[in-house]
Structure 1
Amino acid sequence: MSSFWSPASWSERLAELEARTGEAKQAPLRRDVRSLGALLGQVLREQSRDLPNHSIFDAVENLRRTAIARREADAKGPAHDPEAQRLLDEALDQVHQAAGDLQTGEHGRPSAAYRLARAFAFYFELINLAETNHRKRRRRASLLDESTPPQRGSLQGTFRRLKAVGVTRAEALKLLQRVCVTAVFTAHPTEVARRSVMFKRRRISDLLAALDVAPLPANEMEALESALLAEITALWQTDDVRSERPTVRDEIRMALDYYEASIFETIPVLYAEIAHALDAEYPAKRPTRLSELPIVATFGSWIGGDRDGNPFVTASTTEEAMAMARGLLREHYLGRLSLLFEQLASSTRQAPISAALHTRLEQYLAQLRSSGAHSFGDRFPHEAVRLHLACVTLRLGGTPPTTMHRNLSLTSRATLPEYRSADELLNDLTLLRDSLEENRGERLAELYVDPLLLTVRTFGLHLQTLDIRQHARVHAAAVEELSASTSSQQMATPLSKETAEVLSTFRAIAELKQSSPIAIRQYVISGASEAEDALRVLWLARMGNVNVEGGDADGRHDPGLQPVPLFESIEDLQQAPRICRELWSSELYKPLLKAWGGTQEVMLGYSDSNKDGGMIASTWEIWKAHRALHEVARECGVTLRLFHGRGGTVGRGGGPTHRSIYAQPFDSFTGELRLTEQGEVLNWKYSDVVLAERNLELMIAASLDAIARPDKKANPDCQAHLTGEILPAWEAAFDELSASSFSFYKQHIIDNPDIFTYFDQATPVAELEHARIGSRPAKRVDASATKQRSLADLRAIPWVFGWMQSRHVVPAYFGVGHAIESFIAKHEDGLALLQQMMRSFPLFLDMIRNVEMALAKADFGIARLYAGLVEDEALRERVFSNLEAEFDRTERMVLAVTGQTELLERNAVLSNSIRLRNPYVDPLSLLQVELLRRKRAGERSEELDRAITATINGISAGLRNTG
């Protein structure tokens, strides 16, 4: 039997894999999508045999064809509007009939509506996996031909530009030493997939990658296709909708899965790529060793530490998060040591060991014998390397491999003191590495020991830093209560639950830092609006016995605990430089800065500033705050590290990472960068070694670009393309655009009393409760009978979620069109200036491209159906017409500034992806509207909520955005 993947010619298949441009480059992706679609159709027919009147497959096909026809009619222009409307009405009728009733079948089998939603959502699961596999495929293809110029965003490309402007190898290495990118994983409720679903995704991804092997015998290809069909069937039969909201522990576990899935394996691959890129552009007498490279990537987490608005994160949760991280890392190290034990059976009769390693081993053997293991090592006196590895294993709290345990007569009393710090472990591994190199085992050291050394240098003994986060108003209330109730260090009255938890948190921090002092370093203060917010955290920390200054004790370094103000609103971003100047100039704070090595971290919030002020104002105020904070830091003698709270979607600060890092203010970047990685973004970036390595390389290369600015050195007049410099005319233009858009956004969104009612009724935001996506409540505060709900109640995530699901996508563009149109009308050369900024100013280019992507994902034909859910017809028309007018205006203005005739004209890959997805997203939107209408009409059932949640999952997967 021929496989869907069987080639007509293996030479043509190989040519596809090597293709750089044209149809051949995209052919493998089209084949994967087509073949997976055929397999899904087979599964749908098999799995819907129990339906009496029709199969899910037939319903899906009919809806898909109608949706495609409607899109094609819509694309032909206004003259075809009646045909497009007729097809939309036809699709609505099909949805109404196919959804049927919401009664579950025999043995609780799900309703037709749920199955229909799942079928479309399932298609996106497979498309996403196919596109991810194609990204990996193209990544590998780009490395095949060394004569092809390296891409911008690659490390080799960055080193090449550095070399072109006269930067030497030594100078390039010094620049690289300044770079450190920290990805901080967070658990905002934007990842809809269950953990079991994610595991099945990975198996399907592995099978797709295996089908790329060429040539592949027919029987092996058929076996892979059969396995793929089985995995798709297994995924279909797995619940994608959670029966319960995930706990914080679930979220911790899901994030830790990425270390096992890719990150541990990625680290050696990443540094091998850095070494290769450096040597390719700066040839040296010998290849660069991995052990010689600086650590340029580390990891952090908020999961289990972020208690802002999440009552389920407590002191015990934080303790559990750290224990789980340490446990995972310990198991990884023990696994790597076991591998080394199997591979390094060097005998001192064949190759001696160094004097330093001999001395260390003798010390360990003496300790073991004194603890009861009298014959430890007697039977294998010549396998010193293995004996040393056994001792390292014992110090990590593990047991050496069974053969050594038995043969070396280890007893339960045989112990060595556990490592107190990563430096002690590094010292033992470095002794081993140096000994191998010294005794003709350099290849063994490079192949087996260097990767483990890199891993330990990256993860230490803690795996990741764990940030603690809480809102400033919670600290203020706690300080007030504690100040009033404390007398001679004794609590005079019982504390409130909230204050008791704050104090419990700091006591837990103090205890946890006893065993792992470097794992908790930052305390993020949400809603920071004054210098006192940082001082309150320090006061509370000392109340909880936290050593905020840090220091060295017991052979370990404690960096202390630094308060990190998070500036989120437009007003707070504008006040951030003044607040930090006041803080850093404070006589109370200066000694702490000195204890922390003169370094201060400040966090900038993207999500809330966008919700507060719109796209342009948020982008510009963050950029200006960034620049001004660095100016104040230089004035105060502080080394500033910025923490960027970027979300996954454009409306929450998302977008291409390299472009955003390079768009930072000129001369306002030290090389150290922390940024959040949230929700579905984790799966896109870290589900696979190839993807994880590419993502980290992009961030590192962009950081190197941003501190070195080779384009500026090549073009000192700063008029050339994307040097990073900003001209006075560009700054004045952005100021005007920001003020105009902010005023328009505030008038029509923030201060418009109609907006919240419209948003609440025209979007599925209320269904977040039933979607069970994350542990955190959607609202910052609960509305009561005496308090009217408002936009202030909503977090930025559900705000973006609602607009994205309903295809309005308002946060990503509203105010942009008005601002650009007004600017062009006011200035004779306004359009030409904006077009120049589009070509030459990274920040403006990044913003416009992100807006363009969001516009391409919006659909006001579908959005009008959601608007129909609004009860007040006059209110509905007021708001919808205003939103649609701004959408149309923004589209016109973006096309004018970019010089395009249609959106994404210069991004064929993304344009094709959206075009491919729309015929499947649209039916899901129609089904969601149908189900929401029924629920608003009074129908209530668990199956109805389940079906709505399935549409949420599907639209999220189809648009590749949740919130």
Structure 2
Amino acid sequence: MQELTPTEAIDLVGRFEAGQELPEEMRADVRVLGSLLGRVLQESGSPGLFEDVERLRTATIQAYTDETPEAFARAARVADGFSVGRADEVARAFTCYFHLVNLAEEHQRVRILRERDGRAVSADAADSIATAFARLSEEVGEDAAHERLRALRFHPVFTAHPTEARRRAVSASIRRLSELLDGYDTAAEEGSARRRAERRMLEEIDVLWRTAPLRAEKPSPTDEVRSVMGVFDETLYTAVPHVYRRVDDTLQGDEAGARAPIVRPFVRLGSWVGGDRDGNPFVTASVTRKAAAIASEHVLRGLERTALRVGRGLTLDAASTPPSDALLALWQRLRAGDEEAAAEIAQRSPNEPHRRIMLLLARRIAATRTRDADLAYRDPEHLLADLRTVQESLAAAGAARQAYGHLQQLVWQVETFGFHLAELEVRQHSAVHARVLARLDAGEADDETEEVLDTFRAIAYIQERFGPKAAGRYIVSFTRSADDLAAVHRLARHAVGEDATPPVLDVIPLFETFADLRAAPGILAEIVGHPAFAARLEQTGRRLEVMLGYSDSSKDVGPVAANLALYEAQAEIAEWAQRIGIELTLFHGRGGALGRGGGPANSAILAQPPHSVDGRFKLTEQGEVIFARYGDPAIAMRHIDQVAAAVLMASAPSNESRNRAAAERYADIARTMDAASRERFFALVKEPGFAPWFARVTPMEEIGQLALGSRPARRGLSVESLEDLRAIPWVFAWTQARINLAGWFGLGSALEAVGDEERLREAYQEWPLLRTLVDNVAMSLAKADARIARRYLDLGDRADLADLVMAEMALTRSWVIRVTGGDELLATKPVLQRAVKMRSPYVDALSLLQLRALRALRDADAPRDPEQERLLLLSVSGVAAGLQNTG
């Protein structure tokens, strides 16, 4: 096949882009950003770079659109024909392009959300809290719906593994570009403001191009803490109370803001960043202390600024808004403790009692941050009491809109974030605890022993300084018995000594492997009867939290059997908790990728077994997902609204009865799918030599060199079995190879074993668990590419394993299309299908560059080439940006 002429190439690219049914505004954004990147490549790249990028772009689009072997081979020849240095530049160019396309897509989502907010029906979206409340009221009555709304809890827990493949410097550049694109949108088409915005975007894209895309060193745990703090500062601090406000506005109508809100704060933040030490030797007790201090510093600064802003706005004269007796008493107390400042504030606000109080409260918040013992608050409850005194005084004086306006936002922020921002959770492996206790019982000690004990001392210190809510949950990985949890209490006692009070701990079992999930109900029954655990259970009102891991179970038995096992475990645990009167919270250890429980959270929540949610949903938010869901205020508010609505509706009688009936009706299908999928998965992963083969046909080894996060990628020095490998690189490596095996392998065989196509279609429509599973697999397969996958698999010299993977991919694709309807993947989800198709040929370009580097690095006769290693790592970063996930 001959190379296209320039005119033919332009025509091909134009037809491909026109064929992507993009909203016109987004198409314009992509066009502008792409053309500006082209100018930067021409101005700042080496001679001929822009032309080479266009050659590869044209070739991969042609290969994608006509799907002939000849077209694909020509695209591969273009990629292979570059020098290593030029391939490096081309990879960087495509990666920049993905950052810009992702930005345009996010910008379009925000644009739609803003347009929706501008319409009167904005709060009545089908999947909003307000709509869920209305539906729930119809089913259970308004009083019961109000009770459930008051008990609602959404508890995202931010983790550090993996962090984003892109550097924070790159993220910062993209955020600045987002602001410039906003300005470009609002400027007149031909005016100077638009030209200025375009010039500044060009300047910023030049910065993006010139910024080294790879981190020189892995981030430290403290770096990861500060990265997550950026999300809090830029979005969550203001976004969360805005969600509460929107819901209250809808529920109260014209009365909103003029009387006490209906909505109670339902978001609670958690963090593993700086607390999760399972397998991460860099997370020490010192790091945990620093993580808590950094988080407290951020939230107290935010509360101080907000209190000052509210105070400065309360210029209400005592004549029009007389203070209550309680407010006057509060003024006397505050003045006695801060005389000079009180005198100065009184002079500046001579007849404004509410303003005076708020300005002094801001000083007390500042003193809490700087640890000024004379003025500092002991805990957030005392601050809330003072704020409510102000609020009640305003309301009693007839100034209800001031009482429940901006001041209410501050009250919500204190109720949500406290003085600690996010509860820092500690996680450690049960085997570590067992080793340390054995040494202590023998009167021995070593560095590991001292570090484990110091962790408990750190928790005690954090609770004393920031309050018991700042750090009280302790997660035990690989919980196998009640003794594994009791060990935590024994170690806490060892750490502080017999004469001191140990920290208050809620010890949480984590069931990760397939075998552990099966054993979980029995282990829990043993746990609640253990004396060390039963005492704490009674103190909490019989509240129990149980964590379920999605990653290791999927790696154990494959995604299909793991999903079925997770559902069964949740159903059994929920039924057991109901039977013995325990208020259960299931903590879902979901990752960003589909092979680790990722996918749309709201549909997954609605597919949970009866009583497994009951108005409470807690999950881990990992790596790039944190920034995708919470990086932009409008998107964060929409995500929280959607998830909370699903949590509210999950316990509706209609939803629970539907899930229960479907699970019973299709139990035979579940059994067949479980057995067939596991058999197929084991035929692959238990084949002798599978683990080293996997390491050879994917960039798994090289991913460990990419400075993604502080946690090591594997447990040992080499990969001789899957047990040596962590779940994240297992998923990430298959994703990079465009196979995505961890997200779909075994479903085709499972559906084939059932065989009844009509009944499977019926099950897909009626059984939420199967629908969620199949939809997630469709998404995973849509991001895979059989032609590129085959080239990766051919690196391994194991035709039997390669053929098995490819056959299962084809079988799964065929069955998913037949079960979901239509003639291609994602036919029923056009927006998602469009996003995948728009990116695919550009991801192909990076995959071809990665393949050439991987072939060179797998050549046993060639010396290790640092330039090829760099090219491979650049392509890894670029593919992650294109597919929008790592692990």
Given that residues 547 and 561 in structure 1 are in contact (C-alpha distance below 8 angstroms), is that contact kept between their aligned partners in structure 2?
Answer: no
Q: Which has the higher helix share?
A: 2
Given that residues 178 and 670 in structure 1 are in contact (C-alpha distance below 8 angstroms), is that contact kept between their aligned partners in structure 2?
Answer: no
Task: Work out the CA distance in 2 between the residues paired with 1:471 and 1:131.
Answer: 40
Report how far residue 780 of structure 1 moved.
2.0
Residue in 2 that maps onto 1:204: 177
Cα 1:546/1:388, change in 2 over 3 Å: farther
Q: How does 1:689-704 map to 2 (within 5 A)?
A: 689-704=633-648
SS at match of 2:316: coil
Residue in 1 that maps onto 2:694: 759
The one of 205, 219, 222 aligned to 2:192: 219
The alignment status of 1:801 with 2:732, answered yes or no, reads yes
2:475 is aligned with what amino acid? V
Task: Work out the CA distance in 2 between the residues paired with 1:343 and 1:416.
Answer: 27
The alignment status of 1:790 with 2:726, answered yes or no, reads no
Task: Work out the CA distance in 1 between the residues paired with 2:368 and 2:659.
Answer: 55
Cα 1:704/1:333, change in 2 over 3 Å: same
Given that residues 248 and 303 in structure 1 are in contact (C-alpha distance below 8 angstroms), is that contact kept between their aligned partners in structure 2?
Answer: yes
Given that residues 549 and 561 in structure 1 are in contact (C-alpha distance below 8 angstroms), is that contact kept between their aligned partners in structure 2?
Answer: no
Residue in 1 that maps onto 2:166: 193
Report how far residue 42 of structure 1 moved.
0.8
The alignment status of 1:61 with 2:54, answered yes or no, reads yes
Residue in 2 that maps onto 1:344: 314
Between 1:380-389 and 1:257-266, the stretch displaced more is 380-389
Residue in 2 that maps onto 1:898: 820
Report how far residue 97 of structure 1 moved.
2.4
Residue in 2 that maps onto 1:389: 358
Q: How does 1:722-871 map to 2 (within 5 A)?
A: 725-749=661-685, 751-783=686-718, 789-824=720-755, 830-870=756-796
Q: How does 1:670-681 map to 2 (within 5 A)?
A: 670-681=614-625
Report how far residue 445 of structure 1 moved.
2.9
The one of 589, 596, 599 aligned to 2:540: 596
Residue in 1 that maps onto 2:483: 532
Given that residues 258 and 401 in structure 2 are in contact (C-alpha distance below 8 angstroms), is that contact kept between their aligned partners in structure 1?
Answer: no
Given that residues 164 and 708 in structure 2 are in contact (C-alpha distance below 8 angstroms), is that contact kept between their aligned partners in structure 1?
Answer: yes
Q: How does 1:470-509 map to 2 (within 5 A)?
A: 470-485=428-443, 493=444, 495-509=445-459
Residue in 2 that maps onto 1:606: 550
Q: Any idea what the Cα deviations from partners look like across 1:216-237, whole Å, max 9, x if unmatched?
A: 6622222222221111111112
SS at match of 1:126: helix
Residue in 1 that maps onto 2:8: none
1:623 is aligned with what amino acid? Y
Report how far residue 442 of structure 1 moved.
2.5
Give the TM-score, by structure 1 length.
0.86
The alignment status of 1:91 with 2:75, answered yes or no, reads yes
Report how far residue 319 of structure 1 moved.
0.2
2:204 is aligned with what amino acid? E
The one of 366, 389, 400 aligned to 1:431: 389
Residue in 1 that maps onto 2:6: none
1:821 is aligned with what amino acid? E
Task: Work out the CA distance in 1 between the residues paired with 2:181 and 2:660.
Answer: 40
Cα 1:286/1:42, change in 2 over 3 Å: closer
Cα 1:668/1:96, change in 2 over 3 Å: closer
Residue in 2 that maps onto 1:77: none
Residue in 2 that maps onto 1:35: 32
SS at match of 1:771: coil
Task: Work out the CA distance in 1 between the residues paired with 2:408 and 2:856.
Answer: 61
Cα 1:179/1:264, change in 2 over 3 Å: same
The one of 318, 323, 340 aligned to 2:293: 323
Cα 1:884/1:779, change in 2 over 3 Å: same
2:639 is aligned with what amino acid? N
Report how far residue 379 of structure 1 moved.
6.3
Cα 1:580/1:166, change in 2 over 3 Å: closer
Residue in 2 that maps onto 1:238: 211
Given that residues 373 and 414 in structure 1 are in contact (C-alpha distance below 8 angstroms), is that contact kept between their aligned partners in structure 2?
Answer: no
Residue in 2 that maps onto 1:15: none
Residue in 1 that maps onto 2:97: 123
Task: Work out the CA distance in 1 between the residues paired with 2:538 and 2:367.
Answer: 39
The one of 669, 683, 686 aligned to 2:627: 683
Cα 1:879/1:430, change in 2 over 3 Å: same
Cα 1:571/1:69, change in 2 over 3 Å: same
Task: Work out the CA distance in 2 between the residues paired with 1:288 and 1:158.
Answer: 24
Task: Work out the CA distance in 2 between the residues paired with 1:413 and 1:852.
Answer: 54
Q: Any idea what the Cα deviations from partners look like across 1:288-307, whole Å, max 9, x if unmatched?
A: 75744211111110000000
Question: Please, which runs of 5 or more residues in structure 2 have no aligned partner?
Answer: 1-18
Q: How does 1:375-524 map to 2 (within 5 A)?
A: 377=346, 380-398=349-367, 416-485=374-443, 493=444, 495-516=445-466, 517-524=468-475
Cα 1:240/1:547, change in 2 over 3 Å: farther
The alignment status of 1:884 with 2:806, answered yes or no, reads yes
SS at match of 1:347: coil
Residue in 1 that maps onto 2:64: 71
Given that residues 510 and 544 in structure 1 are in contact (C-alpha distance below 8 angstroms), is that contact kept between their aligned partners in structure 2?
Answer: no
Cα 1:616/1:413, change in 2 over 3 Å: closer
1:323 is aligned with what amino acid? A
Task: Work out the CA distance in 2 between the residues paired with 1:58 and 1:235.
Answer: 20
Task: Work out the CA distance in 2 between the residues paired with 1:794 and 1:151.
Answer: 43
RMSD: 2.6
Report how far residue 25 of structure 1 moved.
7.5
Task: Work out the CA distance in 2 between the residues paired with 1:214 and 1:446.
Answer: 36
1:611 is aligned with what amino acid? K
The alignment status of 1:579 with 2:523, answered yes or no, reads yes
Report how far residue 666 of structure 1 moved.
1.8
Q: Any idea what the Cα deviations from partners look like across 1:46-72, whole Å, max 9, x if unmatched?
A: 111xx3xx4221111111111111111
Given that residues 117 and 123 in structure 2 are in contact (C-alpha distance below 8 angstroms), is that contact kept between their aligned partners in structure 1?
Answer: no
Residue in 2 that maps onto 1:618: 562
SS at match of 1:174: helix
Identity of aligned residues (%): 35
Given that residues 692 and 720 in structure 2 are in contact (C-alpha distance below 8 angstroms), is that contact kept between their aligned partners in structure 1?
Answer: no
SS at match of 1:647: coil
The alignment status of 1:167 with 2:167, answered yes or no, reads no
SS at match of 1:770: coil
Residue in 1 that maps onto 2:336: 366
Given that residues 139 and 652 in structure 2 are in contact (C-alpha distance below 8 angstroms), is that contact kept between their aligned partners in structure 1?
Answer: no
1:182 is aligned with what amino acid? H
Residue in 2 that maps onto 1:563: 507
